[in-house]
Amino acid sequence: MSKQLKLGFILAIAFQAFILVWMLISANLPRWFGQEIKVYTRPIDPRSLFRGNYAHLDYPLERISLSKDQALYDKTLRRGEVIYLSLTQDDKGIYIAKTLHLSPPENEIYLQGRVLTAHHAEEYSSLRLRFANINAFFSPKEKALALEQQLRNEAIAVLMVSDSGKAILKTIEASHNKN
């Protein structure tokens, strides 16, 4: 094997290792440098032969209704389109949806997501959104079963949100009833 071939092989391996490390670091940036926020969620308990025990989390933030007088009502949003949802705190300090944007809002806490479905009617528009990295909470079987009982109806998801709106799920905890 020639020196050039060895060098090329080593560079190819080093490049692949660099890409993997970069992916790992960028995926964890919100965990290390993000702001902690709490949002309402409702766990659904699927089990998968391939994924193990996890709780699929359903967020009220992912279902948005827009009336005629709201921004983006008349915009045609397509499946997969990137959106930004600014958040505000309710009286219990839990973050709820505030406004939907097509570009990152300034000086606000927001989540970056994608449009999953969009339905337009004469009086309102309904959107289903998807935010990456916050929809599944994995745990060992015993903990998953205990968590299922504890969080049966409603829970609080603790998220770490970066300045770019990317979020990562830190943990989930019991809600003390939002009403």
Q: Residue 122 corresponds to which amino acid?
A: E
Higher-pLDDT residue of 122, 159: 159
Q: Whose CA is closest to 98, among 66, 121, 135, 131?
A: 66
pLDDT above 50 (res 178): no
Q: How far apart are CA 45 and CA 31, in angstroms?
A: 24
Highest mean pLDDT among 17-21, 26-30, 101-105, 145-149: 17-21
Record the tokens describing residue 65, joined without a space. 């209704």
C-alpha separations of 144 from 49, 54, 84 in Å: 15, 7, 31
Record the tokens describing residue 132, joined without a space. 């990456």
Q: How far apart are CA 83 and CA 113, in angstroms?
A: 5
State pLDDT tens for residues 30-66.
888 888 999 988 776 656 656 666 777 889 999 888 7
Strand partners for 101? 84
Q: Mean pLDDT over residues 3-22, rounded?
A: 94
Q: Mean pLDDT over residues 15-27, rounded?
A: 92
Spell 63-73 as b/e; 16+ CB within 10 A means b.
Answer: ebebeeeeebe
pLDDT above 70 (res 69): no
pLDDT of residue 137: 79
pLDDT above 80 (res 148): no
Q: How far apart are CA 113 and CA 178, in angstroms?
A: 24
pLDDT above 60 (res 143): yes
Q: How far apart are CA 109 and CA 123, in angstroms?
A: 29
Q: How far apart are CA 161 and CA 29, in angstroms?
A: 9
C-beta separation of 81 from 75 below 8 A? no
pLDDT above 90 (res 111): yes
Express as a percent the part of the chain with pLDDT over 90. Answer: 37
Place of tokens 């339905």: 119
pLDDT of residue 5: 92
Q: How far apart are CA 133 and CA 27, in angstroms?
A: 9
pLDDT of residue 64: 86
Q: Can you give the residue ranges of every domain in the chain?
A: 1-33, 35-174
What's the pLDDT band for 74 if we cut at 50, 70, 90? low
C-beta separation of 36 from 159 below 8 A? yes
Q: Give me the chain's average pLDDT, please.
A: 83
C-beta separation of 56 from 43 below 8 A? yes
Express as a percent the part of the chain with pLDDT over 70. Answer: 82
Q: Mean pLDDT over residues 132-147, rounded?
A: 77
Prediction pTM value: 0.76
